[in-house]
Each structure stands twice: as C-alpha cells, then as structure tokens.
Copies of this chain bind each other. A is one copy, B any other.
Amino acid sequence: MNGPPRPTLHDVAACAGVSIATVSRVLNGTGIIRPETAARVREAVRQLGFRPNRMGRDLRMGQSRSIGVLLPTLANPVFADSVAGIQEAARDAGWTVLITSSDYDTHHEQAAVDGLLAERVAGLIITVTDAAHCPTLDGLDEEHTPYVLFHNESPRPERSSVAVDNALAGHDAATALIARGHQRLGMVAGRFIASDRSRLRHGGFIAAVRAAGLPDPALIEIDFNNDLTCDALRAAFLNPQRPTGIFCSNDLLALRTIARLRELGLGVPDDVSVIGMDGINVGQLIAPSLASIVQPARDMGRRAFEHLLARIAGEAPPQQIRLPHLYRPGQSLSTAH
C-alpha cells in the first residue's frame, strides 16, 4: 500500500560516501566540513529527496520544537485571527503549532492540555475560562511547563500573559455610550464563569457607569454555546426603563443581540445603541456597522509566541504584556433621544 520508506541519514551517508555524522553536520551547519564534501552530501540529499525526521531529532533533543495552543473556539474570528498571528510567528521561527479548543468548557480545557503535553510540546499559549482560579494552570506550574496566558491575565507576576486591559476596555465602551448621551445602559455578557474577560469587561463597564453618576446597568449573562433567547432580552431590556445603550462582551454576541432586538421590534441604532468588543471584520461589513472595542488579535498572537519562545529558552522573565485596544466607531451607535 505504501511506497518505499523515506530515506534516512544512513541512506544519504551511503549515497554520498561519508558517515552519518558528516551528513548531520552539513544539514545543521555545525562543525567544519570541506566544501566539496558538503556539496556531495547536498547532492545526495537532493537526489534522494531526503527530509530530516523530526521524530528522531526531537527525541534526541528532548524537545519537540512545537508549541500547543488552547483557545475557547475557532468559530470566533478574534481567536482565528489570533491563531493566524501565532502561526505566522511560529513559521518564521521554524516551529510548529498544535491547536485545540475547549468550547468554553473547563473539562475540555484540562483534557486538551493533557493531550498537548502528551505531545511533549515545549510550551503552551492558553486561554482559560478563569485565570484566577484554574487547576489546569496550577498543574502546569507544578510541572514547570512554560506557558503564556492569552487573552487572560493573572494577578501572579510569575504567570506570563498577553492581553488587552479588559477592564479598561469595558470602561471605554461605557464612555462611548455615555458620550453619545445615553443614560440608561445595559450589558449582554458571556457567562462570567466561562470567561473572566467577560467579567472584567463588565467590571470596567459598571465602574465607568457609576463614576458618571448613572444608575447601575442591567445585565444579562448568557451561555456562549446556547442561543440568546428573546425571552431573556425581553425581561431585562423591554421594560419602560429599558436601556438605550448596550455593551456586548464580544462582537459575535453583539450580532446575536442585535438580531434578537430586531425580532422584538427594536431597531439599532434608532431604538437602542449597541457596542461590541473584538473588532471582528464582519462588523464593518454589515449595516449598521458595528461599533466595537478592537483587539489587535493578530499582533497579540505574534507577541504571545515570541514571548513564549523566550520563556522556553529561559531568556526572559515572566512578563505581563498588555497591548492597547482601540475604539472603533460604528453606525450601531447613535445619540439617545
């Protein structure tokens, strides 16, 4: 069924009339070799179509030159873009990336990390539901596995992270709504228990609202995986004192919210203003365009990989890297009336 076995160092060595040590040296640029010998080796490599076997190399090196990535889901473009950034940086460095997702489920999280570790990845880039209380992270610390929290942050300084300031982002969302004259605000948030980002954003949001002397915003917490029902929205947002400005903890959620509001007969931005977070591309394609707090997802991915590599090499201390977010205006935001 299968073709001929792939050539190994031995085959190349035999073909070039040298020892496997010499071939290895030529391929890795280690040691000194006579140019003509090197040429013969390279010719043999070309002729046999030899590719070094990473399994052998990795075993010998005790390292896999690959990292693991754990994200909640690839269905959210903000994470897909993050992955693209990670991949990019990894490819540049000659590393490979193993990707898994948890679907916002703590058990899947642990299982996925176990799987990644079984692959002997050299390190992890990981987004967890709650970085402040996470047995999975504790386990990684115990085993001294290098990792970089991603989109999460931890109070512990020994835990590296790459993220935006989510509380400030929530704050900025509130500011944007308030600046447009909205006085009664609300928030549709992914379950706090499934996302500390959501909780942090809510914290910043509510703080800014209070600082502005406005009444506490209504809150709907919803599952990431299940649908946002009209009933939930109706109960919280369809009373006489209904909010005129709503912050959604991510753009996908904002899209769902706007759709449901529409079903309730509430137009955006005429009846309600909505601002999301992440800055996914489709937000700019739809009508009304979606105002959002933009995360530099691709850049975050790059930075996370670069820092993880430095950590693996032992070349850098743990670091909390914060990238700036950006307010992107959109037609989903209007002045209150």
Contact of A286 among B56, B97, B286 (CB under 8 A): B286
Contact of A115 among B6, B91, B99, B285 (CB under 8 A): B91
Q: Mark A2-21, 1 if CB is under 8 A from B, else 0.
A: 11101000000000000000
Tell me whether B256 and A285 are in contact (CB under 8 A).
yes
- Contacts of A51 on B, CB cut-off 8 Å? 114, 117-118
Tell me whether B58 and A55 are in contact (CB under 8 A).
yes
Contact of A96 among B74, B84, B115, B144 (CB under 8 A): B115
Tell me whether B91 and A80 are in contact (CB under 8 A).
no
Q: Mark A239-282, 1 if CB is under 8 A from B, else 0.
A: 00000000000001001101100100000000000000000011
Contact of A74 among B1, B49, B83, B255 (CB under 8 A): B83
Contact of A120 among B49, B53, B75 (CB under 8 A): B53
Per the bound structure, the CA–CA distance linking A314 and B2 in Å amounts to: 8
Tell me whether A84 and B58 are in contact (CB under 8 A).
no
**Residues A55 and B55 in contact in the complex (CB < 8 Å), given A84-B75, A98-B97, A314-B1:** yes
- 8 Å CB interface, A44-60 against B: 49, 51-56, 58-59
Tell me whether B75 and A81 are in contact (CB under 8 A).
yes
Per the bound structure, the CA–CA distance linking A101 and B81 in Å amounts to: 12
Per the bound structure, the CA–CA distance linking A282 and B111 in Å amounts to: 30
Contact of A54 among B80, B91, B119, B142 (CB under 8 A): B119
Tell me whether A3 and B97 are in contact (CB under 8 A).
no
Tell me whether A52 and B118 are in contact (CB under 8 A).
yes
Closest to A1 in B: B314
Q: Mark A109-128, 1 if CB is under 8 A from B, else 0.
A: 00000110111100000000
- 8 Å CB interface, A23-57 against B: 49, 51-56
- Contacts of A99 on B, CB cut-off 8 Å? 83, 87, 97, 99
Is A100 an interface residue, CB under 8 A from the partner?
Answer: yes
Per the bound structure, the CA–CA distance linking A36 and B75 in Å amounts to: 47
The winner among A49, A80, A256 for most chain B CB atoms within 10 A is: A80
- 8 Å CB interface, A271-312 against B: 281-282, 284-287
Q: How far is the CB of A272 from chain B (nearest CB, A)?
A: 14
Q: How far is the CB of A141 from chain B (nearest CB, A)?
A: 9
Is A175 an interface residue, CB under 8 A from the partner?
Answer: no
Per the bound structure, the CA–CA distance linking A262 and B2 in Å amounts to: 55
Q: How far is the CB of A54 from chain B (nearest CB, A)?
A: 5
- Contacts of A335 on B, CB cut-off 8 Å? none
Is A203 an interface residue, CB under 8 A from the partner?
Answer: no
Closest to A81 in B: B75
What are 30 contact pairs spanning A and B, CB under 8 A?
A1-B314, A2-B314, A3-B142, A3-B143, A3-B144, A6-B143, A51-B114, A51-B117, A53-B59, A53-B120, A54-B118, A55-B55, A55-B59, A55-B64, A55-B120, A73-B84, A75-B77, A75-B81, A75-B84, A75-B281, A80-B80, A87-B100, A87-B101, A98-B98, A255-B285, A256-B285, A259-B287, A282-B282, A286-B287, A287-B287
Which residues of A approach B to under 8 Å, CB–CB? 1-4, 6, 49, 51-56, 58-59, 64, 66, 73-75, 77, 80-81, 83-84, 87, 91, 96-101, 114-115, 117-120, 142-144, 252, 255-256, 258-259, 262, 281-282, 284-287, 314
